[in-house]
Amino acid sequence: MSLDLTHHPTCEHCQSPDLDNVMRTVFGVRVCQQCKADKPDEYSLLTKTECKTDYLLTDRKSLD
């Protein structure tokens, strides 16, 4: 592991090395907690209930 910060990913907006771990590992987005909070329209996540309500989705039916 290198301590040289030039070899580590940084936030796409502010270049902070303190990235949000979930956004980086799950979604592949390099964003820090502060920028994520400052840009809720860009980085907010939807719950399953919100998706079902907003987009009129239903649960998948079993083939059994």
Q: Which residue has the higher pLDDT, 13 or 3?
A: 13
Q: Say what the pLDDT of residue 61 is.
A: 78
**Every domain of the chain and the residues it spans:** 5-54
Mean pLDDT of the chain: 88
Q: What is the pTM of this model?
A: 0.66
**Predicted local distance difference test score (pLDDT) of residue 60:** 81
Backbone angles phi, psi at 15, to 5 degrees: 65, 20
3-state DSSP assignment of residue 39: coil
Predicted local distance difference test score (pLDDT) of residue 2? 58
| Of the candidates 13, 54, 53, 55, the residue with the CA atom closest to the CA atom of residue 34 | 13
